[in-house]
Chain A
Amino acid sequence: MSQDFRLDNVGMVNREKKISFKFNGKKYFGFEGDTIASALIANGVHLVGRSFKYHRPRGFFGVGVDEPYAILQLDRNNERDPNIRATEQEIFEGLEVKSVNCWPSVNFDIGAINNFLKMFFPAGFYYKTFMWPPSFWYKIYEPFIRMAAGFGEASIKHDKERYEHKYEYCDLLITGSGPSGLASAYAAAKNGARVILAEDKPRFGGSLLTSDVNIGNQTGVEWTEKIIAELKSMPNVTVKNRSQVFGYYDHNMLVMSERISDHLPRTQKYLPKQRLWYIRANEVLISSGSIERPLVFGNNDTPGVMLSSAAKEYMKVYGVLVGKKPLIFTNNDSGYETAIEFKNNGVNPIILDTRINPSSDIITEAKNLNIEIKFSYVVVAAKGYKKVKSADIAKISDDKKELFNIENIECDCICVSGFWTPSIHLASQSGNKSKFNEKIDAFVPDKSKQQENTIGSANGIFTLEETIKDAFDKGFDVSNKITEKNNKISVPTVVEKKSTDHDKFWCVPLPKGKSYKRFLDFQNDVAVSDIELALREGFRSIEHVKRYTTLGMATDQGKTSNLNGLQLVSDIENKVVPQVGHTTFRPPYTPVSIGAIVGREVGKHSKPTRKSPMHSWHEKNNAVFVDAGVWLRPRYYKQGNEGLFEASKREAKNVRQNVGVCDVTTLGKIDIKGPDAAEFLNRVYTNAWLKLPVGKARYGVMLREDGIVMDDGTTTRISENHYHMTTTTAQAANVLSHLEYYLQLVWPELNVNVVSTTEQWAGAAIAGPNSRKLLMRLFPNLDVSNEGLPFMGYKESDLFGVSAKIYRISFSGELAYEINVESDNGYFMWEKIMEVGKEFQIQPYGTEALSTLRIEMGHVAGSELDGRTIPYDASLEGLVSKKKDFIGKRSLNRSAFTTTDREKLVGVVPIDKTTSIPEGSYIVKDPKAKLPNPKLGHVSASCWSVEYDNPFSLAIIKDGKNMIGQKLFAMSPLKNKTIPVEIVSSHYVDPEGKRVRS
């Protein structure tokens, strides 16, 4: 198809490079540098979508981020990208896009029936309908609404694209490269400041690309190119295009999304798709410009009705005509610039100006060009369904209340200009309260809240001369606060056409007997009548009106509709706009893809994975791993067809019968040094620590101040003032913070230092009746007899030339030792243990067997120390000193903690000795009791006892102490099981603890 609406030799697209793309399956051509919007308009395509509620035809309304209509679905690299704005997405070879919110096609859309039923879909219809009968909600209403709602479809596949995060610091961040952004960046950069200049569009220059001005004897485009080239050559300046600063957060942190590969056929190797910048800026200059406001009239949503500034940009930047019979409808001078541009390209526009008889340079110029101008004229309604075909126009009375001489004139597009709205979003996000500027009928930023200033048209300055001067000053001032270089450069002379005041009129009254829809919000189909209805129904706060009518919601966040909405509310309420106020601007300014926010932290990169130095050995030996905190630990070592149950049973049995070895590197380890270390431990742990001799370990329990058990572990006195503490794998980080808190804040007088050594030591627990024999072979020069290295003893020795620490401690309840070597020697240690242990039938065991061993011994772990239990509950009350004070002791006096029937740890065995009890089951007296069945407690951990070959569980139940021997029931509603059980001692195996001391 030929590009019938493409102008010759006008615009900035690369005519040398023709690009083909597909829209709704049909092939079109454009040029490099085109957006989807400009390329489609060049091909005469104006119907691109259907509206949200009524499914009315949708074309193009703007040319940038404000676009409410042209939301498309994009296919790229076999991936779907929803809700792409056609006005922003650049075309590339092979691009495929399609319309959304229409079925079966954009040309013939079944949903358009809503347009004829619109009396049933007024504002807030979803609060009024779908109410009855209630049972219809899940099966009929909700599925129907879900099918009808929304625009694009997100992909359900894993997004394979790469997104990056970058942290950056600068003296000055400038958000937008229009005249004020360029001028301030230049002034600040010349004054030595580190500047980041961010431009959302591919091309720098903002309004300079389309306005007929002269700066320092150069055209706007030439001046832009010169400044950008110079800025790029400066080492203290970063210039970024396709980069939208979308959020202004606390303490001058701004976030910017850079579209790196979105405009390319596929992401280049080594490049991400998008990059999210977290920028901490000392100062910010907001130069985000302004967005043209629509005028409101009947059927003003028809494709072909668009902003006049957009029509001008399509001509000047893309060399594309939005129509060949344009009607310009304006209340200010901006519409004239568009008209003149049409005329210059050989197209005859007609201008309808709502003003009575204005005069200015630009109006004179239009008159001199013989452009037809009708003053005091308005568009009453656009005619045409899928494209504007004509317009009803009328003369309007001076009080703007009455219409005369309604006539129909032919046109193929209506370019509207209702004056300009400054983009105050970023300033507002920073906390800057806005103020209403009567002269421009819009809000502008008020006093700076953070280190921010707003410049240019974003601050309501609409003449170029003033903009450039102000921006040079601000760029110098804010940079000089930082650099103090006093290098001020002179402001170039600016030549521009003077314009005159705009007309405050913006909404055309309905002619008698007509009920045209006059739209305010084009994305959400919010019409004047909807706002009127909301106010009739009693909504007053603008925030409520917004939520009831959806005015200003969705992907465009009302960039073109907000102010007209406020204007209408204040007109109806007989107020002025500042009394009504505006809704809150929140980040993001434009939609941001979830991928960019997540960055690289996806899949296995979503959290760090820590592996022990023996990890590769475990892998080679068929270990099945489990997440333990941030660590990966072997859960069991699979042999043949074994599953978890068989393997863990075999491993645990081997520990009880021969000897096993378990990787305990992941245990938290904290090195504690200092003359007051003993005193400190005595305050941290519940038991006594002052008399622990050198070379001995002790088991300890620490509490939080509220008396709840925080963690347990052993601590060994290495030398007089040096201790080695172990914590559970999960609590390691919390315990270190806890110790630091008390040392730094509560008892700074204690001379103690703590440091984490978790990663410095590799640990192997050797457990089982054969462990001493194995140890004798590993350390032939060490006396490992029961006298030489007694239970809870500690020795240092040499393991085949590697220095090792040997702790005689046990978690499994068997005769056991824990060997620590420096991490680098961990693999060597493990191999030696396996090699030497072969003759003693050694087998590695994983966390599942470890759990089995500790459960049947009645040793508590995380499932019992779950943040709800005091020492008594976990049967650790024997470790609580009555003599000394310690962290949390005072809380143990609380009446709830001293009742005699408190929950306590017990053992649970199924009566049939075969049915395993699901963890989390309730223990109840009567399984048939009326619901809610009073529960006595819960099953905290379950295993298959390898000692007795039957299931065994630990439970924490009310008055546990007196429940031993009782026959009760374990109920698991989740697993739908009720199991008769007997309550037994939690010490199921070796209750006297003979084995560990053997």
Chain B
Amino acid sequence: MLYINCPHCGLRSQNEFAYGGDATVKRPELNKEISDQEWDNFVYLRKSPRGKHLELWHHISGCRQWIKVERDTSTHEIFKTYTANEAIE
């Protein structure tokens, strides 16, 4: 079970969190004209990288904040965690 450092609460067990998918996906702006292809990429296309990956986790049984976690998908090593809108290094 992973041990995730919530930037708001500190180290907490994985079972307090819900996984939220790829954190690098950016929602297109509202009212912006975009192609079907662009929208399709946003809604459906996700990479499944082996290695370092920036992910969203929701501290659902804790502070209820969405956080970003930089994790190695093959070793589970967690390098860094960020608040929702922190600049990513």
Determine if B18 is an interface residue (Cβ-Cβ < 8 Å): yes
Q: Is the CB of A891 within 8 A of B39?
A: yes
Q: Is the CB of A885 within 8 A of B56?
A: no
Q: Contacts of B76 on A, CB cut-off 8 Å?
A: 250-251
- Interface size on B (CB < 8 Å)? 27
Determine if B64 is an interface residue (Cβ-Cβ < 8 Å): yes
Q: Is the CB of B2 within 8 A of A250?
A: yes
Q: Is the CB of A745 within 8 A of B1?
A: no
Given the known A-B contacts A745-B56, A748-B85, A891-B43, are A249 and B66 also in contact in the complex, defined by CB atoms under 8 Å?
no
- In Å, the complex CA distance between A597 and B19 comes to 23
**A residues 659-690 touching B (CB-CB < 8 Å):** 683
Q: Contacts of A249 on B, CB cut-off 8 Å?
A: 1
List A residues at the B interface (Cβ < 8 Å): 167, 249-253, 278, 280, 431, 683, 705-706, 737, 740-741, 744-746, 748, 885, 890-891, 893-894
Q: Is the CB of A740 within 8 A of B1?
A: no
Q: Is the CB of B64 within 8 A of A740?
A: yes
Q: Is the CB of A890 within 8 A of B34?
A: yes
Determine if B30 is an interface residue (Cβ-Cβ < 8 Å): yes
A706-B44, A744-B65, A744-B84 are known contacts; what are 7 more A-B pairs with Cβ within 8 Å? A740-B65, A745-B66, A745-B84, A748-B84, A885-B30, A885-B31, A890-B39
- In Å, the complex CA distance between A114 and B1 comes to 45
Q: Is the CB of B43 within 8 A of A706?
A: yes
Q: Contacts of A744 on B, CB cut-off 8 Å?
A: 65-66, 84-85
Q: Given B3, B20, B34, B78, which contacts A741 in the complex, CB threshold below 8 Å?
A: B20
Q: Given B1, B30, B43, B58, which contacts A250 in the complex, CB threshold below 8 Å?
A: B1
Given the known A-B contacts A740-B66, A744-B65, A748-B84, are A705 and B43 also in contact in the complex, defined by CB atoms under 8 Å?
yes
Q: Is the CB of A737 within 8 A of B60?
A: yes
Q: Given A280, A740, A890, which contacts B58 in the complex, CB threshold below 8 Å?
A: A740
**Interface flags, B1-42, vs A, CB<8A=1, else 0:** 111000000000100001010000001101100101001001
- In Å, the complex CA distance between A746 and B23 comes to 11
- In Å, the complex CA distance between A958 and B31 comes to 32
Chain A residue nearest to B27 (CB atoms) is: A746
B45 → A minimal CB distance (Å): 12
- In Å, the complex CA distance between A253 and B12 comes to 12
Chain B residue nearest to A167 (CB atoms) is: B13
The 5 closest A-B pairs by CB, nearest first: A251-B3, A885-B30, A744-B84, A885-B31, A744-B66
Q: Is the CB of B64 within 8 A of A252?
A: no
Q: Is the CB of A745 within 8 A of B30?
A: no
A504 → B minimal CB distance (Å): 36
Chain B residue nearest to A706 (CB atoms) is: B43
Q: Contacts of B31 on A, CB cut-off 8 Å?
A: 885
List B residues at the A interface (Cβ < 8 Å): 1-3, 13, 18, 20, 27-28, 30-31, 34, 36, 39, 42-44, 56, 58, 60, 64-66, 75-76, 78, 84-85
Chain A residue nearest to B56 (CB atoms) is: A745
Q: Is the CB of A252 within 8 A of B3?
A: yes
Most-contacted residue by chain B among A250, A683, A748 (CB, 10 A)? A250
Chain A residue nearest to B13 (CB atoms) is: A280
- In Å, the complex CA distance between A427 and B36 comes to 51
A896 → B minimal CB distance (Å): 12
Chain A residue nearest to B3 (CB atoms) is: A251
Q: Contacts of A683 on B, CB cut-off 8 Å?
A: 30
List 8 A–B pairs whose Cβ atoms lie within 8 Å, in order of A's numbering: A737-B58, A740-B58, A741-B20, A741-B66, A744-B65, A748-B85, A885-B30, A891-B43
Q: Contacts of B36 on A, CB cut-off 8 Å?
A: 893-894
Chain B residue nearest to A704 (CB atoms) is: B43
Q: Is the CB of B28 within 8 A of A890?
A: yes
Q: Contacts of B34 on A, CB cut-off 8 Å?
A: 890
Q: Contacts of A745 on B, CB cut-off 8 Å?
A: 56, 66, 84-85
Most-contacted residue by chain B among A252, A737, A741, A745 (CB, 10 A)? A745
Q: Is the CB of A280 within 8 A of B28?
A: no
- In Å, the complex CA distance between A250 and B72 comes to 12
- In Å, the complex CA distance between A250 and B73 comes to 12
B80 → A minimal CB distance (Å): 15
Q: Given A250, A705, A737, A894, which contacts B18 in the complex, CB threshold below 8 Å?
A: A737
- In Å, the complex CA distance between A745 and B60 comes to 15
B55 → A minimal CB distance (Å): 12
- In Å, the complex CA distance between A748 and B13 comes to 27
B79 → A minimal CB distance (Å): 13
